Structure 1
Amino acid sequence: MERTTDKVAVIGAGSWGTALAMVLADNGHEVRLWGHNPEQIEEINERHTNKKYLPGITLPEAIKGFSSLREAMSDIELIILAVPTKAIRDVLRKIVDVHNRPMTIVHVGKGIEPDTLLRISEMIEEEMPAHLLNAVVVLSGPSHAEEVSLRHPTTVTASSKNMDAAERVQDLFINHNFRVYTNADLVGVEIGGALKNIIALAAGISDGLGYGDNAKAALITRGLAEIARLGVKMGASPLTFSGLTGIGDLIVTCTSVHSRNWRAGNMLGKGQKLDEVLNNMGMVVEGVRTTKAAYQLASKYDVKMPITQVLYDILFNNVDPKNAVDDLMTRRRTHEMEDLANILDDRIIDGE
C-alpha cells in the first residue's frame, strides 16, 4: 500500500507509546518519542532500546527520542497521547505552552477521570483551546505492547466524532501486523476500553484466590453485561461491546500475564494490600482509578454494577477479597438475560 510520510510525535515513552512508535516507524513515518526521563531518552537514541518497558526489544533507528517537549512538538500536526489518565491534563497544559499549531490528538489511554467522570476525549476537549484542536481520535482494542513490539498480529479500532480523522489514523497505523478498523461509536469504544480494566482486576483476584477457570469465565461474561449496561445508559451502541473494544479487549486483559490489571488483582487475591501491590508493579494500574469512577457513574446513572461494587469495596473499603467474592456469589437469584432485556427495553422507550 502506497502511503505518505507523516511527522508524528508520540507523547509518552512507556511500553505502549514505544510499541506504537515502532508501528509508525515500520510504516515509514518520521517518529518523535517524548519522555520526561533524560536517561531513558538517551538510551532510546544511543542504544535503540527501552529496557525498563520493553526488555529484549530493539527499536527502529527511525525513532528519535526527545526529552524537550518543545523540540518534540516542533512543526507537528498529529500527536499520539500515550500517558496515564492521571497525567493527561498536566501534559496537555504543557503542550499548549509550547505549541501554537492546530493538531489532531490520538489518545491511546483507557480510563475515566474520577469525580469529573469524563472520558479521555472529553478531558482533551476541556483542556485544549478550540483553535489548537482539529480532532480527537481514540485508538483502542485488545493490544498488549509486548506483543505489538514483537510484531505479532494485532487488531484495534480508531474512533472519533470526525470519521475523516479516524480514517487518517487508520491509514497511519495499518500494516501487515497491525490491522485497524474504524467505529463511529466514540462513547462505546472509550467505555469498553476503560471498564474492562475493572473486570481484569476482578479476574486477577479470582485467580489469586485459586478459584479457577469457571469463576473467571463468569466474571468476564457478567462483567461484559455490566459494561454494556452502563455504556448504553451513557449513549453507546450495545453492538460495540460485542466487538474489539468490548469482548475482545476484555478477554485479552482478563486472561494474560501481560495485563497490569490482572497482575495487580492476582497480588490482591494472594493477600497483598493495595499500596504494596502498586509499589511492586512500578507501572500505572489504570483499573484502580477507573473503579472509583465507574462506581460513581453507576450511582449517577442508577445502573446495577455488582462486580464494580465488590471491587470498590476491596480497593477502598478494605473488604477481604474472599469475603467480597463470596458475597457476590450469594446475591439474589435473577434471570441471565435480564440485563439484555432491560437494555433493549430502554432503547425501545427512547425510540431507537
Structure 2
Amino acid sequence: MTKKIAVLGAGSWGSILANVLVENGHEVNLWSNSEEQVQELNIKHTNEKYMPGFKYPEELVTTTNLKDAVKGAVAVLFVVPTKVIRPVAQQLVEVLDELDTKPLLIHASKGLELGTHKRISEVISEEISAKHRSGMVVLSGPSHAEEVARKDITLITAASDDLLAAKKVQNLFMNNYLRIYTNTDVIGVETGAAFKNVIALGAGALHGLGYGDDAKAALMTRGLAEISRLGVAFGADPMTFIGLSGVGDLIVTCTSVHSRNWRAGDQLGQGKSLEDVIKDMGMVIEGINTCKAAYELAQQKDIEMPITQAIYNVLYNGASIKQEISGLMQREGKTE
C-alpha cells in the first residue's frame, strides 16, 4: 500500500533511503535547505556532491519547502547532521502544529547533541511532543549509502519503545536487498550508532600508520567493550552491542573506505592536521564531536575508556597518535 513519507536531509544516506522508499512503491518528498541541490535532484535526478554517478527515480520529489514535504505524510524521517537535529525539529513542530497532523517520526542520524550529550531521539522528543507524533523510531545499523544504492545486501535495525511503531518502519523499508530487524532497546541502538564513529577514527589512524589486521581487530574488540560499558551505564541492554547496531555497525565503520570517520582517521594517521582533514572531507565527521561527548560522559560516570581517552587526546589536546598507542600498550596488565 502506497504511503506518503517525508525525508528530511538530502545527503548520501537521506537521499538513498528516500530512493529505497520510492522503489518500495511509496510517495516520497525529500527536503533540503539547498535550492541548488533541489534543482539538481528534480531536473537531473542526480546528487553529485553526495552520490556521484547515481541516478534517482523521476518519482522522487525534492523541495526546500518543509510544509510541502510534510503535508499528508504518515511518517517523517530525519537524516540530517546531529548538530542541526534540534533546529530542524523546531521548524518541523511549527509545521505539524499548523497542519494539525501527527506522523510517525523516524531518525537515521548517528551521534549525540554537542553540549547536552543527549541522544537524537531525546532531542527530537523534547522539541516535538506526543501531541504531534504517533511514535518515535530509530533506524540504525551497518549500512553505507553507496552499497544500498547498488542494492547490496544490507541489514539494519528499527528500534522503538513501541514495538508496533518499529514494525511499521520495518514494513516501510524492507525489500529484497534491505532487511530490517526490530528492537526495543533505543538507548543501546543509539549509543552503539554514536560511539562506533569514535572507534572508527582510531581504526583509520591505525591504517594510516601502516598497522595490520591484528591491531585493527584489537581496537575494534576493546573499543566495543568501551561502548558497551558506557551504554550499559545509561540503561542499555548489553546484548544489543553484539547485534547489528553494535558489533555490526562497528565492523562496517571501522573497515570501509566509505566511512567518513575511518577516512578522517586514516588521514590523521598519515600526519595531516585535524583542521586540514575537516576541510578536505567537506562533510560532517560525527566522530569528532561524539568523542568529546563520550570522554565527558565517561568522566561523569567514572567509566574506564582508555581508547576513547587516547583518541580525545589526539583530537583535542594535540597529542601524538604514536605516543597514545604506546601508552595504551604499556598500561598495566588486566583480565579481559
Q: Normalization by structure 2: what TM-score?
A: 0.97
Residue 118 (structure 1) shift? 0.8
Q: Which of 49, 74, 78 pairs up with 2:75?
A: 78
How far apart, CA to CA, are the structure 2 residues paired with 1:61 and 1:322?
50
Residue 98 (structure 1) shift? 2.2
Show the counterpart of 1:240. Answer: 240
Show the counterpart of 2:152. Answer: 152
Amino acid at match of 2:123: M
Show the counterpart of 2:229. Answer: 229
Which runs of 5 or more structure 1 residues have no equivalent in the other structure? Answer: 337-352
Show the counterpart of 2:170. Answer: 170
Greater alpha carbon shift after TM alignment, 173-182 vs 93-102: 93-102
Q: Which of 39, 42, 58 pairs up with 1:61?
A: 58
Q: State the SS of the aligned residue for 2:284.
A: coil
The Cα offsets for residues 289-318 of structure 1, whole Å up to 9 and x where unpaired, read as: 100111111112211111110011100111
How do 1:8-157 residues align onto structure 2 when only pairs under 5 Å count? 8-100=5-97, 101-157=101-157
Amino acid at match of 2:154: T
Greater alpha carbon shift after TM alignment, 9-18 vs 125-134: 125-134
| Preserved contact between residue 205 and residue 269 of structure 1 (Cα < 8 Å) | yes
Residue 95 (structure 1) shift? 1.1
Amino acid at match of 1:5: T
Residue 76 (structure 1) shift? 2.1
Show the counterpart of 1:342. Answer: none
The Cα offsets for residues 78-114 of structure 1, whole Å up to 9 and x where unpaired, read as: 1110000001011111112222211211100110123
| Preserved contact between residue 3 and residue 74 of structure 2 (Cα < 8 Å) | no
Tell me whether 1:313 sits opposite 2:313 in the alignment: yes
Q: State the SS of the aligned residue for 2:112.
A: coil
Amino acid at match of 2:321: P
How do 1:165-314 residues align onto structure 2 when only pairs under 5 Å count? 165-314=165-314
Greater alpha carbon shift after TM alignment, 72-81 vs 178-187: 72-81
How far apart, CA to CA, are the structure 2 residues paired with 1:31 and 1:75?
11
The Cα offsets for residues 306-344 of structure 1, whole Å up to 9 and x where unpaired, read as: 1110011100111111111111111111011xxxxxxxx
Amino acid at match of 1:167: K
Q: Normalization by structure 1: what TM-score?
A: 0.93
The Cα offsets for residues 185-243 of structure 1, whole Å up to 9 and x where unpaired, read as: 11111111111000000001111111121111100010011011111111111111111
How far apart, CA to CA, are the structure 2 residues paired with 1:247 and 1:75?
37
Which runs of 5 or more structure 2 residues have no equivalent in the other structure? Answer: none
| Preserved contact between residue 195 and residue 294 of structure 1 (Cα < 8 Å) | yes
The Cα offsets for residues 122-175 of structure 1, whole Å up to 9 and x where unpaired, read as: 111111133112211000000000111111111000000111110000000000
Greater alpha carbon shift after TM alignment, 232-241 vs 90-99: 90-99
| Preserved contact between residue 102 and residue 134 of structure 1 (Cα < 8 Å) | yes
How far apart, CA to CA, are the structure 2 residues paired with 1:151 and 1:49?
17
Residue 75 (structure 1) shift? 2.0
Runs of 4 or more consecutive aligned structure 1 residues displaced over 6 Å after TM superposition:
none
Q: State the SS of the aligned residue for 2:304.
A: coil
Residue 117 (structure 1) shift? 1.7
| Preserved contact between residue 115 and residue 296 of structure 1 (Cα < 8 Å) | no
